A = this chain, B = another copy of it.
Amino acid sequence: MSEIPEVVVLRLPLYARALELLRQEGVEVISSQGLGARLQVTPAQIRKDLSYFGRFGKQGRGYNVSGLLGELRQILGLDREWPIAVVGVGRLGGAIISYPGFGPHGFRVVAAFDTDPFQIGERAGGLVVQSMDELKSTVHEKGIELAVVAVPPSQAQAVIDALVDCGVKAILNYAPVAARVPQGVLLREVDPVVSLQSMTFHLKSMRGGPS
């Protein structure tokens, strides 16, 4: 499975999310046209992306919604629960810990950490905030492979290094810094400024021409 383009891997969760909604709406079968229209993706793109993983659906019959969703969840490794650690329990970290979207998708925040001594021992969501000194033992005890980082930019790289050091293999970083991880560790970023800037580029062009 190593030759699958990363852009395809990034689209699979979007397909799964759309199928989940369709299932909730009681839709049992959907064509690649129908799924494409929901996602603003061409039907050809959907068929091509799915073809990396085998044959789904029958020519002219569309996809069985539950069936394809089940296959995608298995492909994405979501046929199990993934325990997550959140580091940083400020306003953003607090919102992440309480985010209701994780549970239904197989993720569960099982530990919360902060570097601020005033936060340690306090509650965040249903968790007691722990000191970074307890990171390693907690990661091992709870089998944590995924972590979310929501600390200030100046602390992000050090926190990420500590997570890597404890054996965490995948990190979602909300701090607006270009953090580095060693080979074999996955890093994704959530930075609203980057998303906004890619839109202002187009807004500027839509207005008419170079400045």
Q: Are A197 and B105 in contact (CB under 8 A)?
A: yes
Contacting residues of chain A (81-95) with chain B, CB-CB under 8 angstroms: 82, 84, 90-92, 94-95
Complex alpha-carbon distance, A210 and B172, angstroms? 24
- How many identical subunits does the complex contain? 2
Per the bound structure, the CA–CA distance linking A84 and B211 in Å amounts to 22
CB distance from A94 to the nearest CB of B (A): 6
| Chain A positions 2-24 with a Cβ under 8 Å from a chain B Cβ | 2, 6, 9-10, 12-14, 16-18, 21
Identify the stretch in A26-34, A110-118, A133-141, A200-208 within 8 Å (CB) of chain B at 4 or more residues.
A200-208
Within 8 A of B (CB), among A101-134: 101-102, 105-107
A160 close to B (CB within 8 Å): no
Interface magnitude class on chain A? 35 or more
Which of B101, B146, B178, B201 is close to A199, meaning CB atoms less than 8 Å apart? B146
Q: In the complex the two chains form, is A172's CB within 8 Å of B196's CB?
A: yes
A180-211 CB mask vs B (1 if < 8 Å, else 0) is: 10001010101111111111111111100011
- The 7 closest A-B CB pairs, nearest first, are A77-B204, A13-B197, A77-B200, A170-B199, A92-B95, A91-B95, A13-B194
12 cross-chain CB contacts under 8 A:
A16-B197, A21-B177, A38-B180, A74-B211, A91-B94, A96-B192, A101-B193, A170-B196, A170-B202, A172-B192, A172-B195, A186-B203
List residues of A whose CB falls within 8 A of some B CB. 1-2, 6, 9-10, 12-14, 16-18, 21, 38-40, 74-79, 82, 84, 90-92, 94-96, 98-99, 101-102, 105-107, 145-146, 148, 153, 169-170, 172, 176-178, 180, 184, 186, 188, 190-206, 210-211
